[in-house]
Amino acid sequence: MDIFIQLLIICPLVFFAGLVDSIAGGGGIISLPAYIAAGVPAHLALGTNKFASCMGTSVATFRFIKNGKLHITAALSAVSAALIASPLGALLALRVSEAFLRYVLLGLLPVLAFFILSKKGFREDDAASKHSRSAIIRLSLAAGFCIGMYDGFFGPGTGTFLILIFNIIIGFDLLTASGNAKAVNLASNLAALITFLLSGAILFRLAVPAALFGIAGNYIGAGLALKKGARIIRPLFVVVLALLLAKLLFDMFA
């Protein structure tokens, strides 16, 4: 396929993926299929997508940090646990069928969507301040480990689930939960990107233009999240969960 046609397919979708990802996570559900649709081989699509994703996520993370919407201790704790757990999840994937997890998610996603749409679906105040520093560290380590394991084992929706855990279980306000999730995502993406760079699995003629569109999408999306809060995060969360549900069904029955 001509590179111009490939960019016409990839760049708008990567922009939209960055917009969605910076607000509610789950951008990879949109961006990765874009590369496949443009005729990029799967192993090159993964690396090329990771390059653009890292660039965009770094911009969104910076915007959350600049606006004070990042809890450094919680984010670093979750990052350290996720980096340990992700390879373990990958090893587990070699021994356990993904089918079991797919069925669990098929039952869980509609429940999560209903919960998010309800008025009690998100915590907009900060309840994490009620926890001691050591409690926040323990909870963040547990969150990073569980989601890192999931990311290594299966992957789609990792950022979305991180936001939910930081917000609903640990108690951070919604924007800080999003900032923390962005930091964890950025760290795991950078670790994976190094592997792709060393293996030469990145098509830079596509990755660089796509990264520019991803940066724009993440920048605008982070600004919208910071400005509008739950008013824009809640509906986009439901969109991401619907996309994830559609992907699961497609993968199971295609």
The predicted pLDDT at position 252 comes to: 79
The predicted pLDDT at position 231 comes to: 84
Q: How many domains does the chain have?
A: 1
The predicted pLDDT at position 215 comes to: 97
The predicted pLDDT at position 191 comes to: 83
Structure tokens at 134: 């050591």
What's the whole-number average pLDDT of the chain?
A: 89
The predicted pLDDT at position 93 comes to: 72
Q: Which positions ≥6 away from 131 have C-beta within 8 Å? A: 139, 170, 171
Mean pLDDT value of segment 52-67:
94
Model confidence pLDDT, tens digit, residues 116-139: 777 566 777 788 888 999 999 999
Long-range contact set of residues 161-170: C-beta below 8 Å, sequence gap at least 24: 161/25, 162/25, 162/78, 163/24, 163/25, 163/237, 164/112, 166/74, 166/78, 166/140, 167/122, 167/123, 168/122, 168/123, 169/139, 169/143, 170/74, 170/128, 170/131, 170/136, 170/139, 170/140, 170/143
The domain containing residue 179 runs over which residues?
3-253
The predicted pLDDT at position 151 comes to: 83
pTM, full prediction: 0.87
Structure tokens at 219: 């920048």
Model confidence pLDDT, tens digit, residues 183-237: 998 888 888 888 889 889 899 999 999 999 999 999 999 999 999 887 888 888 8
Q: Which residue has the higher pLDDT, 51 or 248?
A: 51
pLDDT at 101 over 80: no
The predicted pLDDT at position 17 comes to: 95
**DSSP track, 183-223:** HHHHHHHHHHHHHHHHHT---HHHHHHHHHHHHHHHHHHHH
Closest CA to 46 of 212, 247, 193: 193
- Most confident of the ranges 92-96, 141-145, 227-231, 240-244: 141-145
The predicted pLDDT at position 176 comes to: 94
Distance between CA atoms of residues 202 and 47, nearest Å: 5
